Amino acid sequence: MSNKSVLDVLTHSPGTSIGVFLVAIHLLSALFGFLFVPYGPTELAGVSLLAPGSPGFSLGTDVIGRDYLTRLVLGGRTSIFVAMLGVMIAVVSGGLIGVSAAYIGGFYDDVIMRLVDIKLSIPGILFVALCVVGFGRSIPVLTIVIAINYMPGALRIIRSQAMTQVPLDYVKSARLRGDSKLSVIVRELCPNVLEVVVVEFAIRTSSAILAVSALSFLGLGISPPTPDWGLMVYEGIQQIYFAPWLVLFPAFLISTLVIGLNFATDGLANALGLDAARGLD
């Protein structure tokens, strides 16, 4: 609603600035990291389990001699991509359904909200894990399952925001003009829930990144030999007594990304005057 500049929003508070900084670093390395890494992500470049600081391998090598720096830099790409795409699908589709439920109301709304309740009563990670086991472990499956998993929560929040708009007179005016339901939903209501959609997207992306990492850790997410932090933690667990950095590095990167996203989102929500303190399912 406000006309604040993007920069104002991004530097809302020190926490926000830190968050935005962390996210920016992660996004840059995910997007352009491949230009700077010294080896290929699956290239067997050296001796296995070199400690960090070894010549040619500043962060050492993993258990089969792949450069760990390379894999760390590229290890966020896939999960960030899957999480962002999945959540984007979730938020856009959930947004449209939520706004339509708020506007159309009645039986349609009741049915949708009960379905949402049912979905929200299933633990997310369990749902995703079961789907991945059932439909295979590919990136498209993972993306769609993430989308389905995060849609109901986003739907509910966006619907409640739309509910505050539906009684307003401009919606009545549109109805009286004879605008179709679709036109009211898309033209009139959707622009007014945009901020919630953006914040929902940001909040749920961080949660989805964690979920994808957790799935990879459980052997249900991204498949080896693709570098992925969750998977790298899993691979490193076996060596944790002897080569703890194998776990610590990817875990640190997951944490910085998720913390960064949460800080940034929190600031974003505050700056937009939305309540980000709600719990996530």
Partner 1 sequence: MPLAWMPLEALTEEIMDLLNVKNLSVGYYDRFKQIVPAVNDVSFQLQQGETLGIVGESGCGKSTLARALMGYCRPGSLIMDGEVRINNLNILQMNSLELLKLRGERIAMVPQNPLSSLTYHIKVGPQVDEILRIHQGMDSRSARNHTLELFSGTNLTDPELIYDRYPHEISGGQRQRVVIAGALACQPAIMILDEPTTALDTTTEMQVLQLVKELRKKRNMALVYITHDLTLTDYICEDVLVMLNGSVVEKGSVKRIFKVPQTDYAKMLISSIPRVDSENGSSSFRLLVPDREPLLSVKNLKFRYGRHGSLFATFKPKKEPFVVNNVSFDLERSETVGLVGESGSGKSTIANIICGLLSATSGDINFDRQSINKAGEKRSLDLRRRIQIIFQDPLSSLNPRHRIETILSRPLKIFFGLKGRVARDRMVELLESMELVPDHLSRFPRQLSGGQQQRIAIACAFAAKPDLILCDEVTSALDVSVQAKVLELLKAIQTKTGVACVFISHDLGVVKQVANRVIVLQKGVVAEAGFTKDVFAKPKDEYTQLLLAAASRQNDAPIPIHNLGDIQI
Partner 2 sequence: MYSEKKNFEKNQINQPASGITRRNFAIGAGAGFVSLSLSNLLFSSLSMAAQPKKGGKLVYAGSYLNSKHKSLKNAKHPYYGIEIRTRNTYNALTWVDEELNVVPEIATDWESNQGQDVWEVTIREDVKFHDGRPLTVEDVIASYNLHKDKKLGTSFVKKLVDKIEKVSTNKVRFFLKSPSSEFAWNLAEYRQAIMPAAPLDEMGFLGIGSGPYKFAKIDVGRRVIYEANEDYWGKGPYLDTLECVNLPGTNPLNGYLSGQFDVLAAVDPSLINQLSATPNTKIDIAKAGDQIMMVLPKYEGSPFMDKRVRQALTLALDREAIIRIVFGGKTGWASNDTHMAPFNEDFLAKEPRNIPKAKQLLAEAGFENGITLPTFYYAPYVPEITRVLSVAAESVKEAGITMKIEERPMAGYRKWRVENKEKTTKHRFAMGPVGPRNPAMNLFRMARPTYNESGYWHPSAEGDRYIELYEKAMRTGDPIARRNIYHDMQRILQNDVPAIFLTGRRETIAFRSNVHGLKAHSQHWSLRFNEVWKS
Q: Is 117 in the site for partner 1 (CB under 8 A)?
A: no
Q: Is 235 in the site for partner 1 (CB under 8 A)?
A: no
Nearest to 150 by CA among 89, 216, 96: 89
Structure token pair of residue 5: 């500049």
In whole angstroms, how close is the CB of 235 to partner 2 at the nearest point? 7
Read off the DSSP letter of residue 50: P
User: Which residues here bind partner 2, judged by CB under 8 A?
Assistant: 42-44, 48-49, 63-65, 133, 136-138, 219-220, 223-225, 235, 237-242
Q: How far is the C-alpha of 190 from the C-alpha of 183, rounded, in Å? A: 10
Question: Which of partner 1, partner 2, none is residue 107 near (CB under 5 to 8 Å by kind)?
Answer: partner 1
CA count, 13 A, side-chain hemisphere, 67: 17
Question: Which of partner 2, partner 1, none is residue 175 near (CB under 5 to 8 Å by kind)?
Answer: partner 1
Question: Which of partner 1, partner 2, none is residue 224 near (CB under 5 to 8 Å by kind)?
Answer: partner 2
Site string for partner 1, 65-104 (x = CB under 8 A): ----------------------------------------
Rounded to 5 degrees, φ, ψ at 61 are: -125, 165
Question: Which of partner 1, partner 2, none is residue 241 near (CB under 5 to 8 Å by kind)?
Answer: partner 2
In whole angstroms, how close is the CB of 117 to partner 1 at the nearest point? 13
Largest CA distance in the chain: 74
Containing H/E element for 281? Answer: none
User: Residue 31: CB partners within 8 Å, gap ≥ 6?
Assistant: none
Question: Which of partner 1, partner 2, none is residue 164 near (CB under 5 to 8 Å by kind)?
Answer: partner 1
Cβ distance 157 to 278 under 8 Å? Answer: yes
Query: What are all long-range contacts of 179-182, with beta carbons under 8 Å and residues at least 24 apart?
Result: 181/100, 181/103, 181/104
Q: Is 134 in the site for partner 1 (CB under 8 A)?
A: no
Q: Is 188 in the site for partner 1 (CB under 8 A)?
A: yes
Cβ distance 70 to 227 under 8 Å? Answer: yes
| Cα–Cα distance list, 247 to 66, 203, 232, 251, 258 (Å) | 15, 25, 7, 6, 17
Q: Is 182 in the site for partner 1 (CB under 8 A)?
A: no
Q: Please pick, from the candidates 48, 138, 173, 238, the single residue that binds partner 1 as defined by CB under 8 A.
A: 173
Q: Is 277 in the site for partner 1 (CB under 8 A)?
A: no
Question: Which of partner 1, partner 2, none is residue 255 near (CB under 5 to 8 Å by kind)?
Answer: none
- Residues in the chain, total: 281
In whole angstroms, how close is the CB of 109 to partner 1 at the nearest point? 8
Structure token pair of residue 281: 């399912």
What is the binding site for partner 1 (CB under 8 A)? 1-4, 8, 105-107, 110, 160, 163-164, 167-170, 172-179, 188, 191-192, 194, 271, 273
